[in-house]
Structure 1
Amino acid sequence: MSETLYRPRLGSVPLTDKQQQYRDCLREYRTPGQYVAFDTERASGIRYLDKAYLIQAKGQSAPLVLLDPLALDDLSDFNKACKNTTWVLHAAKEDLECMEWAGLVAPRLFDTQIAAKLLGYEHVGLGAVTEDVLGVKLAKNHTRENWSLRPLKQSWLDYAALDVEYLVELAIALKERLEAAGRLSWAQQEFSYILANYHRPRSSEPWRHLKGAGKARSPRQLGLLRELYNKRDEIAREADLAPHRVLPNRDLVDLVLQPPASYQELSRRSFMKRRQLRRHARRWWQAIKKVRSLPSEQLPGKAPLRKLHEIRAIATWEKIDPARAQLYRLFKEDVSTWAQENHIWAECALSPSAIRQVAAYWEKSDDTATLLEAAAARSWQKEIFLPRLEEICAHWTKK
């Protein structure tokens, strides 16, 4: 069993947070090599914005650097230095958007987690894949730190540095395995898709998607949900805190379902015992009073019904359209069977959203290709699953 590593091979790496250090770094990255590994550390669940508070990089021919985007502000020069390379990330969708805050936009991508899924690895976390492929065991002892704090402890920086220390070597090894398995072109299509689609969708009414929001039924409740959600978001943005740290979801929903009749009643709610939450009590009460006085025409109505392909639960499909639910189930079973036989993760073989799209709207043979295209299925997926899904549909229509 390999020994756990707690710091990079050449020892601890200091934080680059001064302009002179940054200029030295740029000189070292004049020729970074074919690949540059990247990773980020965020403060998800702590700060309002899910941006990078530390950026780690290591070129194939350039040293490991730890960049402080708070101190350096704009890393577009580093972006230019790496513009002719392939950027290696693990689970890239989690990092690409937050890297944009610092001016880093990947020109090409190799995602080691996607590669591992296409090769059928059972465990695809960075530590597991690195140990499986390279025989190197990385320490994972600072996964939940608040990376927005300064100064950062050296033990934290050592942990963060390990996330890119072996990443280029891992990508090269996985690329060789993908080539041997005849799946490199699949991986390249997946990487291109991620680069084009990593931005998270933005809802025009995000308050409707709050956990527990479905319990609010009346227009007045929906209006209070909207007002409290927006007020909480306003406070969270001002304080640079994750919204749930301003008012937990369960307490917000409780105020919606059982609104207090007076400020005194509000002050007796359980969450008011916590000083951090109690400090905004006046603003919660103002929101409650505002919604009480709104005329009915200014209150929101129920959300429009979701389209069938947007519903994930087969049980819900069975209530709406039992025949379509059966087709959905047949598709899922076929994709799962193919994935198991070919040692690949089912979600990579064909996405659940693509399965739902075809199951919801298929009517005739010509529809399958169009629906897969609408669901952004990649060429390799269409080549494999177009005939399989059409065969299932042909038998399904006969029943």
Structure 2
Amino acid sequence: MANALNSKTEPHDPGNDDAEKAPLLREPREGLPDVTADPDALADVIAAVSAGSGPVAVDAERASGYRYGQRAYLVQLRREGSGSALIDPVHCPDLAGLDTAIGDTEVVLHAAHQDLPCLSELRLRPRRLFDTELAGRLLGYQRVGLGFMVERLLHVRLAKEHSAVDWSQRPLPEDWLRYAALDVEILIELRDALEEELSETGKLEWAREEFASVLAAPPKEPRKDPWRRTSGIHRVRNQRALAAVRELWYARDEIARERDVSPGRVLPDAAIVEAASAMPRTPSELLGIKQFGIKLARRHLNTWIKAVDRARDMGRPELPRPNAPGDGPPPVNRWADRAPEAARRLERARATVSGIAEDVVMPTENLLLPDSVRRLAWTPPATVDPESVAAFLRSRGAREWQIGLTASPLATALREAEKD
């Protein structure tokens, strides 16, 4: 904690309403490092990291909302004895050498599930992990943003005004780089404070299981029918309009991919839904929908009309079905009518998990995935006992600490539900 305060901070202003706040961290303690953007400079960073000691703090900045995909446009790291480094992955797209230097050293990330995929694209794949956000969830923190946790545990503040900027632009402004460097400046100190709290509350081994599970998780498979996640699609009432949503979504995705632009900047979801509902026949009719007047959308009016025409001309067998069924139970609001015994089981199971989560002070979803609870209640084992429930939860990816806390109480809850 003392080290964090060795960095330059903004002093309290007694005449300011914010005077009671923790001091604002303004400058990296060794100054702002140069951006590493060529092989020689990267070799120097790798050598420095190799010579350092202890965990390696890592962060990545993406250009969500600006560029297509989720690749990294800046990678930050810090290690004791190595200092901080800022790496430009546009010019240094292969970090395999850095990965080798880190080896099985613990890597500290905040919200690792967000950064691991883009780091993997750069061939930086941690073998050991400490996730400060996940640690906060296991400890029952109501807020787990990096800024909040740093202020709570280290008593300094991080400026967050650059969190949603376009990190793909070059050159990157100095104040953005300073913000990025500060995000890893105190990450190891935060990790140490969280580890101490995890140990004091008996949750350290749970956390280690969770961190290992995050690293072991396979890459997400491409989502089936991604167009069905179009915001506002619930307002589309017939199959032909759904087909128009699908055709417009894929047309937009192709343009966005080719131009390396976030799809929402090509055409907002609201425009897709409105066009699918109206089924315009001409570019002038399309321009009657306000969102099609934005610059990128207006350039492709004929593309949008062709997409709508494809949907209009489809035979009935080609039209998508609404509410495509998944592989799990039906929506819970239908259980009482369709399967009242399953509804009773779910009520008991949810109450049981909620009670245990309250006892161990953490969100229920971190104790056990809600989907696992639903599936267990819908199709319980033929013989309900702690062993069969444990086997079911294990098959759904539950960790041993979760199974140890919940299997026996859930078996009891399911049996009691059958008596209701």
What is the CA distance between 1:319 and its match in structure 2?
5.0
For 1:219 and 1:347, how far apart are their aligned partners in 2? 35
The verdict on how the C-alpha distance between 1:269 and 1:124 changes in structure 2, with shifts beyond 3 A counting, is closer
Q: Is the 8 A contact 2:106 2:128 kept in 1?
A: yes
Q: Which amino acid is 2:85 matched to?
A: V
Question: What's the counterpart of residue 342 of structure 1?
Answer: 360
- The DSSP-based 3-state class of the residue aligned with 1:200 is coil
Confirm whether residue 49 of structure 1 aligns to residue 31 of structure 2.
no
Unaligned runs of 5+ in 2: 1-20
- The DSSP-based 3-state class of the residue aligned with 2:141 is coil
The verdict on how the C-alpha distance between 1:83 and 1:341 changes in structure 2, with shifts beyond 3 A counting, is same
- The DSSP-based 3-state class of the residue aligned with 2:68 is coil
Larger RCO, structure (CA 8 Å, separation 6 or more): 1
Q: Bigger shift: 263-272 or 238-247?
A: 263-272
Confirm whether residue 22 of structure 1 aligns to residue 45 of structure 2.
no
Question: What's the counterpart of residue 7 of structure 2?
Answer: none
2:93 to 73, 91, 95: 73
What is the CA distance between 1:356 and its match in structure 2?
1.6
The verdict on how the C-alpha distance between 1:106 and 1:316 changes in structure 2, with shifts beyond 3 A counting, is farther
Confirm whether residue 237 of structure 1 aligns to residue 254 of structure 2.
no
- The DSSP-based 3-state class of the residue aligned with 1:29 is helix
2:169 to 127, 149, 152: 149
Q: Is the 8 A contact 2:231 2:269 kept in 1?
A: yes
Matches within 5 A, 1:167-206: 167-197=187-217, 199-206=219-226
For 1:164 and 1:34, how far apart are their aligned partners in 2? 14
Identity level (%): 36
What is the CA distance between 1:291 and its match in structure 2?
2.8
Q: Bigger shift: 218-227 or 250-259?
A: 218-227
1:139 to 156, 159, 163: 159
Deviation string for 1:84-142 (max 9, x for gaps)?
21111011101101112222111111111111222222322112222222222222221
Q: Bigger shift: 130-139 or 382-391?
A: 130-139
Question: What's the counterpart of residue 112 of structure 2?
Answer: 92
- The DSSP-based 3-state class of the residue aligned with 1:69 is coil
For 2:61 and 2:338, how far apart are their aligned partners in 1? 43
Confirm whether residue 369 of structure 1 aligns to residue 393 of structure 2.
no
Question: What's the counterpart of residue 15 of structure 2?
Answer: none
Q: Which amino acid is 1:390 matched to?
A: A
What is the CA distance between 1:3 and its match in structure 2?
0.9
For 1:365 and 1:149, how far apart are their aligned partners in 2? 57
1:330 to 334, 338, 348: 348
Q: How many residues are treated as equivalent by the alignment?
A: 397
Q: Is the 8 A contact 1:231 1:287 kept in 2?
A: yes
TM-score norm. by structure 1 comes to 0.93
For 2:248 and 2:335, how far apart are their aligned partners in 1? 32
Question: What's the counterpart of residue 14 of structure 2?
Answer: none
What is the CA distance between 1:173 and its match in structure 2?
2.4
Unaligned runs of 5+ in 1: none
Confirm whether residue 392 of structure 1 aligns to residue 410 of structure 2.
no
For 1:262 and 1:343, how far apart are their aligned partners in 2? 58
TM-score norm. by structure 2 comes to 0.89
Question: What's the counterpart of residue 124 of structure 2?
Answer: 104
What is the CA distance between 1:204 and its match in structure 2?
2.6
- The DSSP-based 3-state class of the residue aligned with 1:58 is strand
Question: What's the counterpart of residue 300 of structure 1?
Answer: 320
Matches within 5 A, 1:248-259: 248-259=268-279
Confirm whether residue 58 of structure 1 aligns to residue 78 of structure 2.
yes
Q: Bigger shift: 379-388 or 23-32?
A: 23-32
For 1:310 and 1:154, how far apart are their aligned partners in 2? 52
The verdict on how the C-alpha distance between 1:183 and 1:357 changes in structure 2, with shifts beyond 3 A counting, is same
What is the CA distance between 1:240 and its match in structure 2?
0.8
Q: Is the 8 A contact 2:51 2:82 kept in 1?
A: yes
- The DSSP-based 3-state class of the residue aligned with 2:53 is coil
- The DSSP-based 3-state class of the residue aligned with 2:373 is helix
For 2:84 and 2:92, how far apart are their aligned partners in 1? 17
Q: Which amino acid is 1:76 matched to?
A: A
Q: Which amino acid is 1:365 matched to?
A: V
What is the CA distance between 1:310 and its match in structure 2?
7.0
Q: Which amino acid is 1:9 matched to?
A: R
Deviation string for 1:131-166 (max 9, x for gaps)?
222222222221111111111111111111111111
Question: What's the counterpart of residue 357 of structure 1?
Answer: 375
For 1:259 and 1:173, how far apart are their aligned partners in 2? 57
Confirm whether residue 123 of structure 1 aligns to residue 143 of structure 2.
yes
Q: Is the 8 A contact 1:32 1:59 kept in 2?
A: yes
